[in-house]
Structure 1
């Protein structure tokens, strides 16, 4: 048993807020309807208040936070073409208080398991009308050992990771009594991403932005979606990452592909992100036993806040992340050094310009019915682009620093923070270590038959 008892509260803004139907950008519209779950663990402490006092602090501070972040107290409603609109109506957020008979040690390496998922409120999307589902769900759980767990889920239609950690940071700041900063107010007007219909961009097809190669010999991906998967958590320390980077840098040197020392952004020849992505892609392809001529796509998540002209306002609150496809055959991936793949990833990421983003958003806007293009954060979902075998998607949380950590609600900082679930085969996160030692925590989900082989190749090939 995990949860012994739980009580639910609906928390509404402490003051009247603007009631409106808020415009959602095309970047919002293509995101999953599900809630993106995160989990925070706090070690036992004699300074903790009672659970009832903690809950009251969270309720009071959340009601104040929802005044600034009032869209999170609203509800989504269906509109034409499978799209949604955001009704800012102060219906409130869900906060659950709970107690568990588990201890922190019972969660091991905090691999996103059913036990972890039980510490975050869930929404049954199959039976809950969209206009009734809270956009923010949170749970505070007192563990048997005296530790505390805080779990939160925010609607991915409404916010991306950058906006989510901004909100949690501000909520925590209010809870512990820190003075708010004017500069920390969210920028809520998403019309800055609204395109003028008279503008003409190079409108590519949806499949150009979201290619999903099938396994050779298969006509659909239904069987791959049904296969049993498992979550796992691996770690690369700083020395291992630097070893991968050094080998890749030497590869670039031998191939004559070194960038000028005075490159415009002063970046390293190979970044930590690029070389680790290249390593994971290669090892997953090996573990899957893919044929040499098999096409495979690595999707990498790129924040475009500062890549468009003009850049989005500071603290833009919404979605501003694209999943970019990097395509290869397995033979190309395995027969070339990591430097080749790392530079391939860099080239694709560098392609995210103002024109690219406008073309992407224009493509989404042109889709008559967007409903079947969305996927869910749920295992086995048959909807949306398939990102599993022979493909994968990697999201780095390094760009969420410094707000990623330090969710101090008045009882100190968490000692662990990570994803509360991993929705499908091929889903990978790169998370900078909590203690700043230069390592990466890598939660991912793979098919059961590939998991052990991947871990073997992952460490053998460093």
Structure 2
């Protein structure tokens, strides 16, 4: 709708932005988030939208790519551009959900830990419930008015941004909103040679060697995450059901009712966890996140006891930000994808043992610290030079095994502490909007949420009621976490 179009606040010339090979290989999905704000005075609701809208317009002027659309310009699936045309814009809608059936009041949501049950569809822009396709925009948003609060849902096209880039856009947007409320206007994005960085992330060094990794596989492009669909369509319930049934048939199992289970770590619990997960005499340093992931990996393995069924090893799969790992480093404010996928394998017998926490945490640390640019360069060389009908991607089969684990770490994002200005302030909570049901009977997915203002963390995991119950009764797990909420 025309009234929901947000154009850059300053004129932007018509142009195209060539995406990198790393961008082209990113998942064809929307990264969606919802911020929850209290709104004690309903008369200020429209003002909240106006501040966010003008702040977004100024952000688009600084990052014009966000107002463009994705185009495939040749038969090469890596040949993608963001086209910024005369109608460059972002659609930012608003809707009053107050009093609608199934929509809780803000006070109720806050009291129950901000669960997303019943909110994903009504709060989202419909396009974010589809696969990213040719012609898709880079960003879309919707402000939802609730009784006593607001929920800002926004979705980023993964082809343009990864988690670090999203955090940078959010930082800039919040600063512009602060300026709007304060009656000033200024620039907030450092001048970066984004095009040069994208070129660098597309061309490997000539001396790069062959790429070999048992967790990666060459797929036909049309069956890989490199493939960009020509058209988008909403994922209907029938589509989801068909996908589930195909998956269940392949593993000869019945569908598990899977939901998100949110847990919270206090700052004190995180300090204790890191200490307990460390080796004696500090033989190897570990991070707090190593310890957090180690806790979930080890205690889920203990709860499932999959070694009894003959499974020997568990695999963990996760992305890492490589901006500061490259030589020379890529600037932290770069808007684009600069990640690599890391894996680690650990015997289930060790994860299920009393020493499982320490073992798991140090396997995560070893996987991260062992990352080598030479290996990534070998992947980039292969990815950039394969025939158009082939793609080199992580083998997804490991994520179909329930004794394995996948995780995303958003703890460095400032979502829960950013100040959006004197009128909007700081949000109460943010939530990531992924349907847990689509991951039923698969490896557990763990999402570490942005750090809280008190230094604590919230972590969401896909779980059945049975696994949740086992973890709540687990004396080791219960030392560190408290239950927050379960939602779909």
Q: TM-score category by the smaller chain? A: 0.7 to 0.9
| Counterpart contact for 1:187–1:313, Cα < 8 Å | no
Change in 2 beyond 3 A, CA 1:348/1:124: closer
Structure 1: distance between partners of 2:252 and 2:386: 27
Structure 1, gaps ≥5 residues long: 1-5, 211-217, 260-268, 376-382
**CA shift for structure 1 position 76:** 1.4
| Counterpart contact for 1:76–1:86, Cα < 8 Å | yes
Q: CA RMSD in A?
A: 3.4
SS at structure 2 position matched to 1:399:
coil
Partner of residue 377, structure 2: 358
Partner of residue 282, structure 1: 298
Quick check: 1:74 aligned with 2:68?
yes
Partner of residue 263, structure 1: none
Q: Kindly report which structure 2 residues correspond to 1:255-266, keeping only aligned pairs within 5 A, or say none.
A: 258-259=283-284
2:259 to 230, 242, 251: 230
Partner of residue 201, structure 1: 209
Give a deviation string over 1:82-127, Cα, whole Å, max 9, x none.
446123224321111111123113322123433145323231676x
**CA shift for structure 1 position 21:** 3.4
With normalisation by structure 2, the TM-score equals 0.77
Change in 2 beyond 3 A, CA 1:61/1:446: same
User: Which is worse superposed, 338-347 or 113-122?
Assistant: 113-122
**CA shift for structure 1 position 370:** 6.1
Change in 2 beyond 3 A, CA 1:338/1:106: same
SS at structure 1 position matched to 2:323:
coil
**CA shift for structure 1 position 152:** 0.8
Change in 2 beyond 3 A, CA 1:36/1:129: closer
**CA shift for structure 1 position 157:** 1.6
| Counterpart contact for 2:208–2:374, Cα < 8 Å | no
Give a deviation string over 1:178-228, Cα, whole Å, max 9, x none.
553465456532213121474432312573489xxxxxxx99965679643
Q: Kindly report which structure 2 residues correspond to 1:212-361, keeping only aligned pairs within 5 A, or say none.
A: 227-249=256-278, 251-253=279-281, 258-259=283-284, 269-291=285-307, 293-335=311-353, 336-361=355-380
| Counterpart contact for 1:396–1:431, Cα < 8 Å | yes
Structure 1: distance between partners of 2:38 and 2:434: 21
User: Which is worse superposed, 83-92 or 277-286?
Assistant: 83-92
User: Which is worse superposed, 99-108 or 53-62?
Assistant: 53-62
Give a deviation string over 1:332-371, Cα, whole Å, max 9, x none.
3223442232222211101223213212323433554467
**CA shift for structure 1 position 244:** 2.5
Partner of residue 103, structure 1: 105
SS at structure 2 position matched to 1:300:
strand
SS at structure 1 position matched to 2:367:
helix
Partner of residue 413, structure 1: 426
Structure 2: distance between partners of 1:385 and 1:15: 47
SS at structure 2 position matched to 1:113:
coil
Change in 2 beyond 3 A, CA 1:83/1:447: farther
| Counterpart contact for 1:415–1:434, Cα < 8 Å | no
Change in 2 beyond 3 A, CA 1:422/1:237: farther
Partner of residue 133, structure 2: 130
With normalisation by structure 1, the TM-score equals 0.80
SS at structure 1 position matched to 2:126:
coil
Structure 2: distance between partners of 1:161 and 1:358: 21
| Counterpart contact for 1:73–1:135, Cα < 8 Å | yes
Partner of residue 380, structure 1: none
Give a deviation string over 1:118-159, Cα, whole Å, max 9, x none.
323231676x882343221111112122x1221111011210
Structure 1: distance between partners of 2:364 and 2:75: 37
Q: Kindly report which structure 2 residues correspond to 1:385-424, keeping only aligned pairs within 5 A, or say none.
A: 386=399, 389-401=402-414, 405-408=417-420, 410-421=423-434, 424=439
**CA shift for structure 1 position 295:** 2.3
User: Which is worse superposed, 310-319 or 447-456?
Assistant: 447-456
| Counterpart contact for 1:324–1:349, Cα < 8 Å | yes
Quick check: 1:188 aligned with 2:216?
no
Give a deviation string over 1:354-397, Cα, whole Å, max 9, x none.
2132123234335544679599xxxxxxx887366122222222
